[in-house]
Structure 1
Amino acid sequence: MRVSIVDYGVGAALAGELANTSPTVRSAEGEALPDSEALARFLVGHGLRFDALADGPPTGHDVREVHLLRREARGIVETETEEQAVAGAAVLAGRAGLSPVLDRDAGGRWQWYVPTAPGASLAEELAALIGIGLLGAVRTLGHGRFRACVAPGCRGVFVDTSRGGRRIYCMPELCGNRLNVANHRARHRLGGGVTQ
Structure 2
Amino acid sequence: MNIPLSDYTTGATVASDLVNTSPTVRVTTGDALPDPTALARFLAEHDVRLDAPPPTDDDLRLVHVLRMQIRVILETETEEHAVAGASVLVRRAALAPVLHRDDDGRWQWHVPTAPGAPLADELAALVGVGLFGVVRTLGRERFRSCAAPGCRGVFVDTSRAGKRRYCMPDLCGNRLNVANHRARRRLGSVAR
**TM-score, normalised with respect to structure 1:** 0.96
2:173 aligned partner: 176
Deviating beyond 4 angstroms after TM superposition, the runs of 4 or more aligned structure 1 residues are: none
CA distance in 2, matches of 1:112, 1:49: 18
Q: How does 1:20-169 map to 2 (within 5 A)?
A: 20-53=20-53, 57-169=54-166
The CA deviation at 1:36 is 0.5
Contact 1:4 1:114 (8 Å CA) reproduced: yes
The CA deviation at 1:47 is 0.7
CA distance in 1, matches of 2:82, 2:48: 24
Identity %: 67
Contact 1:92 1:131 (8 Å CA) reproduced: yes
The CA deviation at 1:13 is 1.5
The CA deviation at 1:29 is 0.7
1:16 aligned partner: 16
SS of structure 1 residue aligned to 2:85: helix
Q: 1:193 to 1:46 in 2, by over 3 A?
A: farther
> Unmatched 5+ residue regions in structure 2?
none
Q: Deviations over 1:139-164 (max 9, x none)?
A: 00000100000000110010000000
**TM-score, normalised with respect to structure 2:** 0.98
CA distance in 2, matches of 1:193, 1:10: 48
CA distance in 2, matches of 1:15, 1:48: 12
Q: Deviations over 1:26-75 (max 9, x none)?
A: 0011010010010011001111110012xxx2100000000000000111
The CA deviation at 1:78 is 0.6
Q: Deviations over 1:85-127 (max 9, x none)?
A: 0000011011000000011112221100000001100000000
Contact 1:148 1:155 (8 Å CA) reproduced: yes
Matched residue count:
192
Paired letter, 1:32: A
CA distance in 1, matches of 2:117, 2:160: 33
